[in-house]
Chain A
Amino acid sequence: MTSRELLRVARVRLENAGAIVRRIIGAPDYDRYVAHLRDHHPGARPMTYDEFARQRMVERYSRPGTRCC
């Protein structure tokens, strides 16, 4: 593989790793939400990232079930 291809593979791997880490720590997964709406509710207008992120975060901290002792 050329060094360009290696860099591209490395970048893709890093992006995947980043996505995994983001989901583990609980960051709002907007891409998943948009993809889901696109696949299952084609006409629906998705929330903006801002609205989505705020809703997710508020829900996270309103019930005892996200973080332990």
Chain B
Amino acid sequence: MPKALRFGIWVLVSALGTLAFARIALGRGETINAAWLLTAALCSYAVAYRFYSKLIAAKVFALDPIRATPAVRLEDGRDYVPTNRWIVFGSHFAAISGPGPLVGPTLAAQFGYLPGVIWIIVGVALGGAVQDFVILASSVRRNGKSLGAMAREEIGPVAGATALVAVLGIMIVLLAVLALIVVNALKSSPWGLVTIGLTIPVALLMGVYLRWLRPGRVLEASAIGIVLIVASLFAGQWVSTQPSLAAVFTLSGTALAIVVMIYAFTASVLPVWLLLAPRDYLSAFVKIGVVLALAIGIIVSLPPLHMPALTQFTDGSGPVFAGKVFPFAFITIACGAISGFHALISSGTTPKLLQREPDARMIGYGAMLMESLVAVMALIAACALTPGVYFAVNAPAGVIGTTAAAAATKIQTWGFTLDPNQMQALAKQVGEQTLLSRTGGAPSLALGMGQLFANVLGGNEALAIWYHFALMFEALFILTTLDAGTRVGRFMVQELAKHIWAPLGSVSWYPAVVLSSAVIVAMWGHFLYQGVLDPLGGINSLWPLFGISNQLLATVALCVATTIFVKMGKARYAWITLLPMAWLTIVCMTAGWQKLFAEDVKLGFLSHARLIESQVASGALPAAIKSASDARRMIFNDYLDAVVTLFFMVSVVVILADSAREWMSVLRGRKPVISSEAPFEPLPAAGD
């Protein structure tokens, strides 16, 4: 294609994107269409991929198509397997996608669509995709080294150890949050509980099938599994219509929390092939299915956005979570903009699969752009709901009360319309007792998707099936992340424990396995249980904690990347990683500081603890707190959350300081500019 034509096309794409952004930013007071958000996103991604990722690939790493990747040099048929880049793209995308890009934007919609969409698009282009790409390329050049190992090698042992402990901490918060999302979605919902509950025996069946009946026939087993879980969707519906059965499966939040904890513990101890691996296969299909369904629903119906561009909650008075739009919009949306956890994936199995170095651009940068598109779509689905319905579903009972009438009254004081009969009718339509305060983002997304589908095909009668279909599929892969994550967490606990007493690290010694599984489940289970009891709804305090820890891990990853740039002799390009790193540091430290020391009792952990302490001392407990022991437990949790937040903040300061020391040493010439990359080897010539 002639150069002038290519140039012209890019001018057009940029112009279209700019137009879309202008429409989004300037269209206040009128309902704009989702198409504008999609256009802005797609044009921005195209421009960012074509120009920014190319800059990084060419100028920083000089990705070389004839340089042998570790998959080629160290091929062993197991970990190091040179794989076609589209397959690696698919598996990397399947690895990084999860509930994150679906939940974060849904929660951030409380500020309106504008802060969310700007952060998702700008954040991913300049931050998230950059992080994923740079860590992937760095790991490829180092034979697939993990982030922790790179931190240790590039910065120092203190940074490496801190990173490892921080990762364990993040996993615990993440698992607690995911469990809470599941509990909030399934409590008092016999349909949901039966459907999700049945996925466990389905997975067990698949495990047995794959081990003894038809070994290796993964697709066959998955097909059977998918058919069975669709059947369980209807089984759940049937149970919800039988009053006596429905009563058995209507569990309270606390009961469900215990069930989830027992389940995760059992799943992490059972052999992998029996439950975890089959669930993982199912989840991969289900994840792709949900993303495709969301995309089709939005593209076909192109809904108008009923949520305004900015709501009054940008001032920090929001019901879904506390905090002003800065910094909390940037904390709430992690996956989809920038997520530190992705750096673990980018330095996990993916770098060992790359056939050629230039593939890293498409896989690292490109897959993250795609996840960002999923986040934009989740934001659209949340904002396509009317604000009244959105807040009725996402605001905790402690704020809007427990009846449709109370919720409607409260929401109307915020300036949004909500008819209490409408909420009750909607709940009945989707086959739930109530949709109020089903916080955690999953039910709200399911409702949005259900409505999109009901508009497109099926009409209102099918809303119930679509709602539960979306909810079930989401809960399925969330639950799989939970049980797989518990198992990984158990390994990490054993890794740490073996420094205390060697036999604890043995993965074949059953007592050690059971003990470490119990420890990790107890750790996230504690946060889960407290979240369930919290009158403000646990998501209110746990999600920002997860967001802060995740973004701080991203800061660590970008720190490692900057150190690598400096040691490669590319310090003049260090701004590429320093820019998002500086932004994230400011955002996370501000958010952490506010969560610790803010005077607002809904925001600051310590001020909230002091409030409850004074209430206990004066004997005037509010209605939401049943007893003094409950109050003392809440106080303990506030302090615990504060300590965890402080731990993450201190970890990042330590790593930043250590890194800055390294940069200064290299830049001042006290240390040589030596890269730790594996030496260049050309690809074997064709025919070898």
- Binary A-proximity of B70-95 (CB < 8 A = 1, otherwise 0): 00000111110101000100110011
- Check: B537 CB closer than 8 A to any chain A CB: no
Contact indicator A64/B488 (Cβ below 8 Å): yes
**Smallest Cβ-Cβ distance to A55: which chain B residue:** B78
**Smallest Cβ-Cβ distance to B89: which chain A residue:** A24
Residues of B within 8 A of A54 (CB): 271-273
Residues of A within 8 A of B271 (CB): 54
- Check: B347 CB closer than 8 A to any chain A CB: yes
Contact indicator A66/B146 (Cβ below 8 Å): no
**Smallest Cβ-Cβ distance to B507: which chain A residue:** A62
Contact indicator A33/B339 (Cβ below 8 Å): no
8 Å CB interface, B454-505 against A: 480-481, 484-485, 487-488, 491-492
| Given A37-B77, A54-B272, A58-B272, A68-B339 contact (CB < 8 Å) | yes
**Smallest Cβ-Cβ distance to B90: which chain A residue:** A24
Contact indicator A30/B344 (Cβ below 8 Å): no
| Given A29-B81, A68-B335, A57-B98 contact (CB < 8 Å) | no
Output the least CB separation between B683 and chain A (Å). Answer: 16
| Given A53-B216, A66-B348, A25-B285 contact (CB < 8 Å) | yes
> B75, B99, B100, B348: which has the most chain A beta carbons within 10 Å?
B348
Number of interface residues of A (CB under 8 A): 39
The SS class assigned to the A binding surface is helix
The SS class assigned to the B binding surface is helix
Residues of B within 8 A of A61 (CB): 272, 276, 484, 487-488, 491
> B77, B216, B281: which has the most chain A beta carbons within 10 Å?
B77
Q: Which of B87, B178, B335 contacts A20 (CB 8 A)?
A: B87
Contact indicator B284/A64 (Cβ below 8 Å): no
Contact indicator B219/A18 (Cβ below 8 Å): yes
- Binary B-proximity of A34-69 (CB < 8 A = 1, otherwise 0): 111100100000000110111111111111111111
Q: Which of B77, B284, B485, B550 contacts A36 (CB 8 A)?
A: B77
In the assembled complex, the Cα of A60 lies from the Cα of B339 at a distance in Å of: 21
In the assembled complex, the Cα of A24 lies from the Cα of B83 at a distance in Å of: 10
Output the least CB separation between A25 and chain B (Å). Answer: 4
| Given A67-B95, A68-B97, A69-B174, A33-B348 contact (CB < 8 Å) | no
On A, residues with C-beta under 8 Å from B are: 18, 20-30, 32-37, 40, 49-50, 52-69
14 example contacts (A-B, Cβ-Cβ < 8 A) are as follows A24-B87, A26-B94, A29-B81, A32-B77, A36-B75, A36-B77, A54-B273, A57-B272, A63-B488, A65-B344, A67-B98, A67-B481, A68-B342, A69-B481
Give 9 nearest A-B pairs by CB, closest first: A65-B348, A36-B77, A33-B77, A24-B90, A25-B284, A27-B218, A69-B100, A57-B272, A62-B491
On B, residues with C-beta under 8 Å from A are: 75-79, 81, 83, 87, 90-91, 94-100, 146, 167, 171, 174, 178, 211, 215-216, 218-219, 222, 271-273, 276-277, 280-281, 284-285, 334-335, 339, 341-342, 344-345, 347-349, 480-481, 484-485, 487-488, 491-492, 507, 546, 550
Known: A54-B272, A64-B167. 17 other contacts (CB 8 A): A18-B219, A24-B87, A25-B285, A26-B91, A27-B216, A27-B218, A63-B348, A65-B349, A66-B349, A67-B345, A67-B481, A67-B484, A68-B98, A68-B335, A68-B345, A68-B481, A69-B100
